[in-house]
Amino acid sequence: MPKLSIPKPEEAFPAAVEGIVICKSSSGYVPIKGAVVTITCLKVNEEGYDDDKTPSSPTNAKGYFFKTLPSNKDDKKNSWENCKAFLEQSPMEECGVPSNVNRGIDGFPLSSHRILQDKHLKLYSVGPFFYTSEHKPTMNKVPAGGY
């Protein structure tokens, strides 16, 4: 009689987030060196909800960041489904206004990942995120002067 094999549950690899931060200006697109992205996770504790924030390392000259996330001892699978990545800061005065392209302001959810078996890592990719040089005007919901 053949032996039945039971599939192994997904291993609880440590998680990391990667992405790129770019300056979008009238002259084009330029990677931002030194930008910071924050990964915020909504956690439930005895007092209710709490935000757990982890800043990325500053981006390199190509605008790239990589951040290993702290181990989540309360979650045996190290699930990061209640986490989002947000633009935090740009070192460029001339390109310091965050943009919501790819949810840089609202938060890009860590919803899908890939497993890097050789590195024993669960990798989430976000963005690219953009900063601009100026605020975009917002439209009024009701036009001035009525319809």
What domains can be seen in the chain, in order of their start residue?
15-132 (2.60.40)
Residue 105: per-residue pLDDT:
97
For residues 32 and 26, give the distance between their C-alpha atoms in angstroms, rounded to a whole number. 15
Residue 5: per-residue pLDDT:
53
For residues 137 and 122, give the distance between their C-alpha atoms in angstroms, rounded to a whole number. 39
Taking only Cα atoms into account, the Rg of the chain, rounded to an integer number of angstroms, comes to 20
For residues 39 and 80, give the distance between their C-alpha atoms in angstroms, rounded to a whole number. 10
pTM: 0.77
For residues 100 and 84, give the distance between their C-alpha atoms in angstroms, rounded to a whole number. 13
Residue 143: per-residue pLDDT:
46
Give the three-class secondary structure for 35.
coil
User: Could you say which residues of the chain have pLDDT below 50?
Assistant: 7, 76, 139-147
Residue 145: per-residue pLDDT:
46
